[in-house]
C-alpha cells in the first residue's frame, strides 16, 4: 500500500521533474546562446549604424572645409589637428547663390502644399466615413484606386492645361499639383481613421441635434490630432523633398525655385564646386532633419501608414 | 440588434456632395482627365497632331537606347528590391533584442528625411574620383587606394555606375523597410519563439522557418512599395548621372522625352508603360489590404 503510494507520488512527480530538467537545460543554453550572440549582434549592428551615418557625416564635415581642400583631401583628414574649418561656404551660398530665397520658396510651396490636401482630404474623408449618400463607397473605392496612377501620366496634360490658363511657373501651379497628388492618400488614411472612431459618440451627437459641420469640427478633428499630425509631417516631407513636380511646373522660373531645384541646378552647373554644393545641400536638409529628430514618433507613424502610397 | 447608424436616414445628397466636391474635382483634373489624355497622346506623334498607332510603343520595345532603359529599370527593380527588403529584414531581426535598438533605427532612418537631391550630393562626395597619384578625397576610392586596388570612376564606368546608383537608393530606403518589418516582428508572440528554441531550433532555422513566414504579409507590403518606388525612379538618376553613361531609366527617359525632345507621344507611352506595370501590383496590394480590414 505504502509502496504503491510512494510509487504513484514519484510517477506523478516525474513528468514535472523531467519538465523542469528539460526546461532548465535549453534555457541555460539559449541564455548562453543569446549572450554570445547579443554582444556579437550589438557590435555588428553598431557597425551598420556607423556605416549608414558616415556619408551624411562626411557631407556635414565637408561643408565646413575650405573649397580647395574638399577636392584634394578626404574629409576624414580634417578630423585631426590642425583643424581648418570655415563657415565661408555657407556665407557664399546664402548670399551669392540665392539659397536664402530658395529656402523661403520651399516654405512658400510646402506649407500650402501640406495644409491644402489635409483640409480638403479631411472634409472628403468625413463625408466618406460618416455621411450616408448614394454611391459613397463606390466613389471612395474609386479614389483609392487612383493610388495606382503614377504622377507621370498627369504631367503632359496638366502642363498643357496649366499653360492654357496661364499659371505654369507660378506657385499656384505647384500648390494645386501637390494638393491633388497628395489627396488620394490623405483621403484614404483619414477616412480609415475617422471610420474607426466610436459610432456611439457620433450618434449621440446626432441625437442631440448637432450638425455634420459641428460634429466634424468639435468631435472628429480633436480626436484625430495624431493622425492629422502624422499625415501633415509625411506630406510636408514629401513636398519639401520633391524635385519632379517643381521641375515640371516651375522649371522655367528660377526665382520661384525651391531648395531641391536650386541644389539640383547647382549640381548641374557647379558639378565640381563642392564648397557650394555641400553647404547648399546641408541647408536644404536642415529643416527635414530637425523635424525628423523632434517629431520622430509621428514621422515614423506617418511613414508606416504611408507604405501604401504609390 | 440594429445599430443606431443603420436607422438614421440618408443625408441630403447635395450637402454630402459639397463635402467631397473639392477633392473630386481636383482628382478628376489631375488623375482621370490626364490618364485619358495620356493614353490618347501615347498613340499620337511627337506634337499630338496625328495618330501613329502603336509606333511609340514599338519604339520603346525595339530602339536599342530604349531597350537599355528597360534593361536598367529591370536591374534596378530586382537588385533594389532585394537589397532594401533583404537588408531591412536582416537588420530588423538583428536589432530586435539589442539594447540600443532605437539609436540604430534612427541612424538607418535618417536618410528617409533627406531628399534624393541631397542624397545625390552626399554620394557624389563618396564616389569622388581624383586622377591616380593624387590623394583620393572620395571615401570609396580612398579605401581602394588603402588596399592598393586601382581606383574607379564610379559614376561613369558602365560596369559599376548602375550599381553605384542602386546603392544610393538602398542607403535611403533600407531604413524604411527595416522600421516596418521591425514593427511586425514585435507582434510575433514570444511563446512561439520560445517553443521553437526549446525544440532545438538554431538561429538560422528560427529566422528562416519561423520569423520569415510570420512576417511574410509585411514583407509583401514593403516589397510592393519598393517595386512601385523603383519603377518610377527618377531623382537619384537625374542628380547623379542625368541618365548618361548607360544609366538611363524609364522615369528619366520620360523627363527627357517630355522636356528635351518635346516628344509628347513617346513620353506619354512611357508613362502608360509605368501605369500598366504598377496597376497589377497595386491591385494585389489593395485587395490584400481590404482582406486584412475584413478580418480585423
Question: Do the Cβ atoms of A58 and B104 come within 8 Å?
Answer: no
Higher local confidence (pLDDT), B133 or A62: A62
Q: Is the pLDDT of residue A304 over 50?
A: yes
On whether any CB of chain B is under 8 Å from the CB of A213, the answer is: no
The CATH H-level superfamily of B66-96+161-295 is MetI-like (1.10.3720.10)
Can you tell me the distance from the alpha carbon of B24 to that of A184, in angstroms, rounded to the nearest whole number? 10
B40 in A contact zone (CB under 8 Å): no
Residue A198, chain B, CB below 8 Å: the answer is no
Averaged pLDDT, B174-182: 88
Nearest C-alpha neighbor of A185 from the set A154, A145, A224: A145
Q: Which of B70, B106, B132, B119 is CA-nearest to residue B277? A: B70
- Unique residue bearing C-alpha cell 487612383: A146
Interface test with A, best of B122, B167, B187, B199 (most A CBs within 10 A): B122
Tell me if the bond preceding B148 is cis, omega within 30° of 0.
no
Quote the percentage of chain B above a pLDDT of 90: 26
Is the full-model pTM beyond 0.90?
no
Q: Between chains, do A241 and B272 touch, taking CB under 8 Å as contact?
A: no
pLDDT digits (tens, 9 = 90+) for B112-157: 888 888 898 899 888 888 877 777 778 888 888 888 888 888 888 8
Q: Which of the pair, B259 or A97, is modelled with greater confidence?
A: B259
Q: Using pLDDT thresholds of 50, 70 and 90, give the confidence band for residue B294.
A: low
Q: How confident is the model at residue B85 (pLDDT cuts 50, 70, 90)?
A: very high
Q: Choose from A156, A190, A240 for mutation: most chain B CBs within 10 A.
A: A156
DSSP state of B44: B
Judge whether A299 is closer than 8 Å to chain B, CB to CB.
yes
Does the CB of B109 have a partner CB in chain A at under 8 Å? yes
Q: Which of residues 190-209 of B touch A (CB under 8 A)?
A: 197-198, 200, 203
Task: Read off the pLDDT band of B290 (50, 70, 90).
Answer: low
Say yes or no for a CB contact (<8 Å) between B27 and A143.
yes
Query: Hey, is the C-beta of B246 within 8 angstroms of any chain A C-beta?
Result: no
Sequence ranges of the domains in chain B: 66-96+161-295
Are B195 and B146 spatial neighbours (Cβ–Cβ below 8 Å)?
no
Q: List CB contacts (< 8 A) between B125 and chain A.
A: 55, 58-59, 62, 75, 274, 278
- CB contact (8 A) between residue B115 and residue A247: no
Does A302 reach chain B within 8 Å, measured CB to CB? no
User: For residue B210, what is the DSSP state?
Assistant: I
Cβ of A127 under 8 Å from any chain B Cβ?
yes
* Mean pLDDT of all residues in B151-167: 87
H/E stretch holding B144 reads helix B139-146
B217 touches chain A (CB under 8 A): no
Q: What is the pLDDT of residue A240?
A: 92
What's the confidence (pLDDT) of residue B292? 62
Q: Is A289 exposed, middle or buried (0-12, 13-18, 19+ CB in 10 A)?
A: middle
Facing A124 at nearest CB: one of B19, B99, B139: B19
Per 3-state DSSP, chain B is made up of helix, strand and coil in percentages (nearest 5) of: 75, 0, 25
A109-118, B116-125, B194-203: which has the minimum mean pLDDT?
B194-203
Residue in B closest to A31 by C-alpha: B197
Taking alpha carbons only, the member of A172, A186, A168 closest to residue A238 is: A186
Region A81-89 average pLDDT: 78
Q: What is the DSSP letter of B128?
A: -
Contacts of A51 in chain B (CB under 8 A): none
CA angle B218, B79, A153 (to 5 degrees): 80
How many CB pairs below 8 Å do chains A and B form together?
308
**When comparing pLDDT for B188 and B81, which is higher?**
B81
Percentage of residues of chain A with pLDDT beyond 90: 18
* Mean pLDDT within A239-243: 90
| Residues of chain B numbered 222-241 and touching chain A (CB < 8 Å) | 222, 225, 228, 231-232, 234-235, 238-239
A203 touches chain B (CB under 8 A): yes
User: What is the rounded CA–CA span in Å between residue B139 and residue B154?
Assistant: 11
Helix axes B161-185, B116-127, angle to 10 degrees: 120
Q: What is the pLDDT of residues A3-38, one digit of tens each?
A: 344 333 444 445 555 555 454 444 444 444 454 467
Please state, in angstroms and as integers, the Cα–Cα distance from residue A223 to each residue in A130, A170, A236, B237, B263, following that order. Answer: 15, 36, 21, 42, 50
CA distance B147 to B134: 16
CA distance A185 to A179: 11
Contact B108 A48 (CB under 8 A): yes
Long-range CB contacts (within 8 A, 24+) of B51-57: B52/B265, B55/B265, B56/B265, B56/B266, B56/B268, B56/B269, B57/B269, B57/B273
For chain A, the average pLDDT equals: 80
Q: Is A39 on the interface with B (CB under 8 A)?
A: no
Nearest-CA distance A9 → chain B (Å): 27
Amino acid at each position: 500500500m505504502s509502496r504503491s503510494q510512494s510509487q504513484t507520488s514519484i510517477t506523478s512527480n516525474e513528468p514535472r521533474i523531467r519538465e523542469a530538467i528539460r526546461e532548465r537545460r535549453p534555457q541555460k543554453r539559449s541564455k548562453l546562446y543569446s549572450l554570445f550572440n547579443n554582444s556579437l549582434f550589438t557590435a555588428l549592428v553598431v557597425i551598420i549604424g556607423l556605416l549608414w551615418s558616415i556619408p551624411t557625416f562626411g557631407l556635414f564635415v565637408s561643408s565646413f572645409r575650405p573649397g580647395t581642400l574638399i577636392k584634394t583631401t578626404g574629409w576624414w583628414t580634417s578630423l585631426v589637428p590642425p583643424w581648418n574649418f570655415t563657415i565661408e561656404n555657407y556665407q557664399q551660398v546664402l548670399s551669392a547663390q540665392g539659397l536664402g530665397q530658395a529656402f523661403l520658396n520651399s516654405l512658400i510651396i510646402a506649407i500650402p502644399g501640406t495644409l491644402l490636401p489635409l483640409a480638403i482630404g479631411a472634409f472628403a474623408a468625413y463625408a466618406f466615413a460618416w455621411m450616408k449618400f448614394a454611391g459613397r463607397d463606390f466613389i471612395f473605392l474609386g479614389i483609392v484606386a487612383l493610388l495606382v496612377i503614377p504622377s507621370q501620366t498627369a504631367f503632359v496634360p496638366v502642363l498643357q492645361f496649366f499653360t492654357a490658363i496661364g499659371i505654369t511657373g507660378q506657385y499656384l501651379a505647384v500648390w494645386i499639383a501637390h494638393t491633388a497628388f497628395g489627396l488620394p492618400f490623405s483621403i484614404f488614411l483619414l477616412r480609415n481613421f475617422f471610420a474607426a472612431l466610436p459610432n456611439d459618440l457620433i450618434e449621440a451627437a446626432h441625437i442631440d441635434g448637432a450638425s455634420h459641420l459641428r460634429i466634424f469640427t468639435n468631435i472628429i478633428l480633436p480626436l484625430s490630432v495624431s493622425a492629422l499630425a502624422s499625415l501633415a509631417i509625411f506630406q510636408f516631407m514629401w513636398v519639401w523633398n520633391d524635385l519632379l513636380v517643381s521641375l515640371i511646373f516651375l522649371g522655367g522660373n528660377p526665382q520661384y525655385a525651391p531648395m531641391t531645384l536650386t541644389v539640383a541646378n547647382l549640381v548641374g552647373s557647379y558639378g565640381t564646386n563642392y564648397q557650394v554644393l555641400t553647404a547648399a545641400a546641408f541647408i536644404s536638409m536642415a529643416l527635414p532633419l530637425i523635424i525628423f529628430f523632434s517629431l520622430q514618433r509621428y514621422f515614423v507613424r506617418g511613414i508606416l501608414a504611408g507604405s501604401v502610397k504609390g | 440588434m440594429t445599430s443606431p447608424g443603420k436607422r438614421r436616414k440618408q443625408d441630403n445628397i447635395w450637402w454630402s456632395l459639397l463635402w467631397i466636391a473639392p477633392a473630386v474635382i481636383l482628382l478628376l483634373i489631375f488623375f482621370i482627365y490626364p490618364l485619358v489624355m495620356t493614353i490618347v497622346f501615347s498613340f499620337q506623334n511627337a506634337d499630338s497632331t496625328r495618330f501613329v498607332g502603336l509606333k511609340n510603343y514599338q519604339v520603346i520595345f525595339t530602339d536599342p537606347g530604349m531597350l537599355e532603359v528597360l534593361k536598367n529599370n529591370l536591374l534596378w527593380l530586382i537588385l533594389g528590391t532585394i537589397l532594401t527588403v533583404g537588408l531591412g529584414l536582416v537588420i530588423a531581426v538583428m536589432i530586435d533584442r539589442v539594447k540600443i535598438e532605437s539609436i540604430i533605427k534612427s541612424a538607418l532612418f535618417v536618410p528617409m528625411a533627406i531628399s534624393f537631391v541631397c542624397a545625390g550630393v552626399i554620394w557624389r562626395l563618396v564616389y569622388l574620383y581624383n586622377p591616380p597619384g593624387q590623394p583620393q578625397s572620395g571615401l570609396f576610392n580612398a579605401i581602394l587606394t588603402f588596399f592598393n586596388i586601382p581606383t574607379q570612376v564610379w559614376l561613369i564606368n558602365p560596369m559599376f555606375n548602375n550599381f553605384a546608383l542602386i546603392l544610393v537608393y538602398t542607403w535611403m530606403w533600407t531604413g524604411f523597410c527595416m522600421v516596418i518589418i521591425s514593427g511586425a516582428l514585435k507582434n510575433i508572440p514570444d511563446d512561439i519563439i520560445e517553443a521553437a528554441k526549446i525544440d532545438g531550433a538554431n538561429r538560422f532555422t528560427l529566422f528562416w522557418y519561423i520569423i520569415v513566414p510570420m512576417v511574410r504579409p509585411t514583407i509583401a507590403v514593403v516589397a510592393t512599395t519598393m517595386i512601385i518606388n523603383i519603377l518610377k525612379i527618377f531623382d537619384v538618376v537625374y542628380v547623379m548621372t542625368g541618365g548618361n553613361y548607360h544609366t538611363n531609366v524609364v522615369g528619366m527617359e520620360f523627363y527627357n522625352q517630355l522636356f528635351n525632345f518635346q516628344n509628347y507621344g513617346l513620353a506619354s507611352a512611357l508613362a502608360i508603360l509605368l501605369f500598366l506595370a504598377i496597376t497589377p501590383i497595386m491591385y494585389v496590394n489593395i485587395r490584400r489590404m481590404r482582406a486584412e480590414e475584413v478580418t480585423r
